[in-house]
Amino acid sequence: MPSHANSQHEAVELQYTELEAIPKIVNEARACFQTGRTKDLRWRTQQLRALHRMLDENEQILTDASFGDLKKDPGETFATDILIVKNEIIDLVENLDEWTAPEHVPTPIIYATDRCEWVPPLTMDGCEQMADGPCSAYQLTLTPVAAAIAAGNAVVIKLSEVSKHAAAAMTELLQKYMDPSAIKVINGAVAETTELLKQKFDIILYTGNGHVGKIVAQAAAKNLTPTILELGGKSPTIIAEDADLDISAKRILWGKAMNAGQTCIAPDYILLPRHLAAPFYRAIEKAFTKLLTSNPEKVSHLARIINPTHFRRLQTMLDSQLAVPGTKVVVGGQTNADDLFIAPTVISGVGKDDASMREEIFGPILPVVEVEDLDEAVEYVKAREHPLILYLYARSKKTIEKVLRETSSGMVLVNDVLIHATVPNLPFGGIGPSGMGKYHGKFGIEAFTHARSVMIRSFKFSEFLNAPRYPPAAYSARGMVLVRAGMEKKFKGPVGRLIKRIGWWLPWKTWGWVAVAVVAFLVGRRSQGSL
C-alpha cells in the first residue's frame, strides 16, 4: 500500500444538501420501504455485498480521503477503519437467515399447542444514521448502516462535515454502489442537521459528542423516536500493581497515538499506583522511543488534528495543565500549529480536578493521576460519569473481578486497548452520559428492528382447552384448580430444573402434545357444566 506522507491534497468543497430537499429525501426513503422492497432478504444481501464491493474496489480513494482529512496513514485507515466494516458485512451476510428468523418462546402448559414467537417485522420505515467528528469515519458511519440494511430498513445517512474528504468520498461511492431509492445521503452542518431532525424517523443513531447527543435526543423525543447514542466520554485506564508495565505502556501509547487520539474509545487518562510511577514512566519513555522515535513529527504514520479549532482547544488544554505546579511532560509535548500536529503526550503530576480532567480530551494528550491503591482508583471511577469503556491492566483474577463488579461502563477491555471494537459479536455501546443502545453483529440487527410478539391459536384444540376460562366454570373451585394446573408457575427444585434443561433439547412441539394430553385428561374428567 503506497505511502501518502509527502503527497498534497487539494481542498475539497463538500456540497451541502439543499434545505428544502431534505423532507423530500426522507419521504422518498420511506416510500421505498413501504413498497416492501427492503424487507426482501435477497435485496438485503445484494445491498450488503454492494457495500462490501464498494470498500473493496475503492480502498485507494478512501485511504486518500482519510489522509486528506487527518494525514492518516493508509495502513492505519485500512486496518482500523475499512477492514472492520468489511468483516462486519461478511458476518451479517453469512448469518442473515439465522439472525432474522422468528424465535419460539416457551409457554404455559395451557398454550402448549399454540404458536408463540417473536419476530423482527421491520417496522423501521425511516432509519437515520448521523456521524459527527473525525472518529474512524468509515467504521462509525458504515457499520451501523450495514446493520440497518441487514435489518431491512431504508436509511438516511447524515455524514460528518468535519471529515469533509471522507464525507465527499462516501457520498460519491454510496450513490454509485447502493440502491438510491432506499439509501440516501445528506451533507451539511448545523442548519441541515436541524432540518433533518425535524423529520419523523423510526430510529436515529448518532455518533459524536454529548452536547450534540442531547440535542438529537430532544429532537427525537418530540416524535417519541428511539435513539442509539454513541457519545464517548472520559475513558479511564487503571493500572494494577501486578500489571506488566512494559507491555502496558507500549499498548497504551499505541492506542493513544491511533488517529492522534481522536477516537471515542481512546484511553483518556491513567490511574496509577504512586509507588509504580517511576518504573511506569521509564516504560513509557522506552515505548515512545521504540514506536515514535525522538522526533515524532517526522514519523509518517502519525495522524494530525482534524482542524485548527480542535488544535487550539487541545493546545489550550495542554498549556493550562502544564501551568499547574508539579505537572511535567513525561514524553511528547511537541506541537506545530501550521501542521496541526500534536505528539502523543503523557503528563505526570496531574490532579483529579485539573484542566485535562474536566472534559473528554479527544486528542493525543494522556494525563496520569497517581493514587494510593486500586481501591482509590475504583472509587475515583465510580464517582465520575459512566465511561464508554474502562481499560484495566492486571494479572490477578481477583483484581479483574473486583473492577468488573464495582464499576460501571459501556465496555471493558483488560490488558489491551481499542481491539475489542474489532470483535464483531461483542456489543458496542455506552451507558448513561457515554451513550445508550448498542450494535455490532446480531446486536446491530436487533437495534434496528422491533421484536414483535406473535401468538397464533387454533380453532380446534384451543377452544377445548379454554373451557375453564368461561363462566360458570371459570369461577368455580374446580375451574380454579385447572387454571392453576395449566398456568400458575412454581419455583423449581433441583429435579425440576434438570427436567427443564432436558426439555430444551427436545422440539417444542413434542412438549406441546404432552401438555395437550395432560390438560385434555383433566378437562375431560368432567363436562363443562359439571365443573
The type of residue at 86 is K
Give pTM, 2 decimals. Answer: 0.88
Least Cα distance to 308 among 355, 349, 342 occurs for: 342
Q: What is the pLDDT of residue 88?
A: 96
Q: What value does the mean pLDDT take over residues 46-50? A: 98
Distances (CA, A) of 504 to 99, 104, 108, 369, 441: 20, 12, 15, 51, 25
Rg (CA), the chain: 28
Q: What is the pLDDT of residue 526?
A: 47
Question: Considering Cα of 301, then 305, then 307, then 311, what sign does the dihedral take?
Answer: negative
Give the count of beta carbons closer than 10 Å to the beta carbon of residue 281.
19
Least Cα distance to 350 among 321, 372, 379, 375 occurs for: 321
Q: What is the pLDDT of residue 4?
A: 46
Least Cα distance to 407 among 280, 274, 271, 277 occurs for: 271
DSSP secondary structure string, 251-266?
HHHHHHHGGGG-STTS
Q: What is the pLDDT of residue 529?
A: 46
Q: Which of 88, 135, 264, 360 is catalytic?
A: 264
Q: What value does the mean pLDDT take over residues 303-315? A: 97
- Please give the Cα distance from 236 to 371 (Å, whole number): 13
Q: Is 230 a catalytic residue?
A: yes
Q: What is the pLDDT of residue 128?
A: 62
HSE-CB for 338 with a 13 A CA cutoff? 1
Q: Which residues neighbour 378 within 8 Å (Cβ) at sequence distance 6 or greater?
A: 238, 402, 403, 406, 407
- Please give the Cα distance from 510 to 518 (Å, whole number): 13
- Please give the Cα distance from 77 to 141 (Å, whole number): 14
Q: What is the pLDDT of residue 215?
A: 95
- Please give the Cα distance from 29 to 180 (Å, whole number): 9
Q: What is the pLDDT of residue 161?
A: 93
Least Cα distance to 30 among 182, 225, 209, 242 occurs for: 182
Confidence bin at 3 (pLDDT 50/70/90):
very low
In terms of pLDDT, which residue wins out, 466 or 334?
A: 334
Query: What SS3 state is found at 162?
Result: coil
Q: Dihedral (C-alpha) 23, 26, 32, 33: value to the nearest 10 degrees?
A: -130
Q: What is the pLDDT of residue 376?
A: 98
Give the count of beta carbons closer than 10 Å to the beta carbon of residue 240.
23
Q: Is the pLDDT of residue 182 over 70?
A: yes
Q: Which residues neighbour 251 within 8 Å (Cβ) at sequence distance 6 or greater?
A: 415, 416, 417
Confidence bin at 63 (pLDDT 50/70/90):
very high
Q: What is the pLDDT of residue 2?
A: 42
Please state the separation of Cα 371 from the chain's center in Å.
31
Please state which of the ranges 353-357, 394-398, 458-462 shows the lowest mean pLDDT: 458-462
Question: Tell me: the pLDDT tens digits for 359-391?
Answer: 999 999 999 999 999 999 999 999 999 999 999
Q: What is the mean pLDDT of the chain?
A: 89
- Please give the Cα distance from 481 to 468 (Å, whole number): 9
Q: What value does the mean pLDDT take over residues 316-326? A: 97
CB 269 within 8 Å of CB 238: no
Q: Is the pLDDT of residue 351 over 90?
A: yes
- Of the chain, the end-to-end C-alpha distance in Å amounts to 82
Q: What is the pLDDT of residue 521?
A: 61
Please state which of the ranges 131-145, 258-272, 361-375 shows the lowest mean pLDDT: 131-145
**Residue tagged 481499542 (cell numbers):** 418
Q: What is the pLDDT of residue 1?
A: 43
Q: Is the pLDDT of residue 487 over 80?
A: no
Confidence bin at 411 (pLDDT 50/70/90):
very high
Q: Percent helix, strand, coil in the chain (nearest 5)?
A: 50, 15, 35
Q: What value does the mean pLDDT take over residues 89-114? A: 85
Locate 155 and state its grid cell. 436509511
Q: What is the pLDDT of residue 502?
A: 66
Q: Is 127 a catalytic residue?
A: no
Q: Which of 76, 161, 195, 230 is catalytic?
A: 230
Question: Tell me: the pLDDT tens digits for 323-350?
Answer: 999 999 999 999 999 999 999 999 999 9
Q: Is the pLDDT of residue 445 over 80?
A: yes
Q: What is the pLDDT of residue 349?
A: 97
Q: What value does the mean pLDDT take over residues 22-42? A: 94
Q: What is the pLDDT of residue 527?
A: 44
What is the percentage of the chain residues whose pLDDT exceeds 90? 74
CB 72 within 8 Å of CB 261: no
CB 126 within 8 Å of CB 120: no
CB 268 within 8 Å of CB 252: no
Query: Which letter does DSSP use for residue 79 in this model?
Result: I
Confidence bin at 144 (pLDDT 50/70/90):
very high
Q: Is the pLDDT of residue 531 over 60?
A: no
Least Cα distance to 414 among 389, 387, 430, 393 occurs for: 393
Q: Is the pLDDT of residue 453 over 70?
A: yes
CB 126 within 8 Å of CB 201: yes
What is the percentage of the chain residues whose pLDDT exceeds 70? 87
- Please give the Cα distance from 179 to 168 (Å, whole number): 18
Query: What SS3 state is found at 271?
Result: strand
In terms of pLDDT, which residue wins out, 286 or 117?
A: 286
Question: Tell me: the pLDDT tens digits for 277-300?
Answer: 999 999 999 999 999 998 999 998
- Please give the Cα distance from 418 to 136 (Å, whole number): 12
The type of residue at 27 is N
Q: What is the pLDDT of residue 530?
A: 46
